[in-house]
Amino acid sequence: MDSEVYTVDLNPRGSMVAYGGGNDRCTVMDLETGDVVSIVENFGDSVIFCKFIDGEKLLVGSLDGTISLMTLEEEINNVSVNEDISKIKVDKDKLLVGTTRGNVHLFSLDLCIQNVCIGQYSEIQDMCYESGRAYTLSETNFMVFDAESHRKLMDLHVRGGSAIGKMPSSDVVCLGLEGCIVVRKNAHLLGRIEVDGSPECILYMNNYFIVGGDFDYILLINMPMSMRTFKIPVGVEGISGIRGDGENRIAFSTCNGAVGYGDIRDEKSFKLIEGGVGCIFDMCFKGDTIYVGGEHGFNALDIRKIEEIPREE
């Protein structure tokens, strides 16, 4: 059985894919030839993050807090936050590292500059960054920090915090909480939307907040239309991740091993296919190919060649 794969990413040109997981290493593959072009093995714990930051450089992070900046040939820089990582992502020109202790480390993409925002009371569930502000969410608190001075700008008690999305160039955020989705602008509540379970992922794209979670639909929140909501039934529960093409197409992963894709303008365009890796931990897509990592390894799915899973009526 293949090792679990927790993280997958494509380089900007879509010519290489990187993935890493429970075997404590990151593998880079040339998609045109299928050849493995690089394997990075100097990690002491599971690789949970890999992200290309240009055509040749990538950031790789392991569960125990080690983060490396490297090319395909060599390591450029290496740091450790000395804490277990609960969430890690690149947002704008920052690498954000949330930890199980409730701290958020913000790095420049070359890993040379680091700031730490301290004050959350439990494990970081999600976070984002824009214009010098770090937006952080734990299970019990939503906090906003000045990323340079580390000063806490907002502290809001929440229940069951799980996911956060942000509208670019604004102060509007969408929070996934226990049984609901909350849209806020600074201290002002703009809207509250009840859902049937826990929201697990939020994407902002093309004027919509797009939300998936422990329910059998994708929720669209149209911001220009006074937060009017639309539900796209997808026939499966447990949506764990959503990725978009920046326009109208999305793909989503599920805990039961299915992958879905479609155009948010047309609910009839949505289809489900089998991912082939069991529970899916991460995914990305380009064109008609979806790349998935899960409990049984890595897989590349050509949606034109895979039979659709029939939906239950």
CATH at residue 67: 2.40.10.480
Domain that holds residue 21: 1-80
| Residue 135 belongs to a domain | no
Q: Of 48, 80, 112, which residue constitutes the final position of a domain?
A: 80
Burial of 33 (0-12, 13-18, 19+ CB in 10 A): exposed
Look up the CATH number of the domain holding residue 244.
2.130.10.10
| Residue 271 belongs to a domain | yes
| Residue 167 belongs to a domain | no
Nearest to 286 by CA among 6, 8, 70: 8
Q: How many domains does the chain contain in total?
A: 2
Residue 36, beta-bridge partner list: 29
How far apart (Å, rounded) are the C-alpha atoms in residues 129 and 135? 6
| Residue 93 belongs to a domain | no
Q: Of 80, 95, 119, which residue constitutes the final position of a domain?
A: 80
| Residue 254 belongs to a domain | yes
Find the largest Cα–Cα distance for the chain. Answer: 54
How far apart (Å, rounded) are the C-alpha atoms in residues 83 and 102? 10
Residues 70 and 185 in one domain: no
Q: Of 80, 107, 125, which residue constitutes the final position of a domain?
A: 80
| Residue 103 belongs to a domain | no
Residues 303 and 185 in one domain: yes
**Global pTM value:** 0.95
Residues 189 and 299 in one domain: yes
At 64-89, the pLDDT tens digits run 999 999 999 999 999 999 999 999 99
User: What residues contact 20, with CB distance under 8 A and at least 6 apart?
Assistant: 5, 6, 7, 26, 27, 46, 47, 48, 49, 50, 60
How far apart (Å, rounded) are the C-alpha atoms in residues 122 and 70? 31
Residues 187 and 69 in one domain: no
At 23-44, the pLDDT tens digits run 999 999 999 999 999 999 889 9
| Residue 284 belongs to a domain | yes
| Residue 6 belongs to a domain | yes
Q: Would you write out the chain's pLDDT as a tens digit for each of its 313 residues?
A: 579 999 999 999 999 999 999 999 999 999 999 999 999 988 999 999 999 998 889 999 999 999 999 999 999 999 999 999 999 999 999 999 999 999 999 999 999 999 999 999 899 999 999 999 999 999 999 999 999 999 999 999 999 999 999 999 999 999 999 999 999 999 899 999 999 899 999 999 999 999 999 999 999 999 999 999 999 999 899 999 999 999 999 999 999 999 999 999 999 999 999 999 999 999 999 999 999 999 999 999 999 988 898 766 5
Which H helix or E strand runs over 106?
A: strand 104-108
Residues 192 and 71 in one domain: no
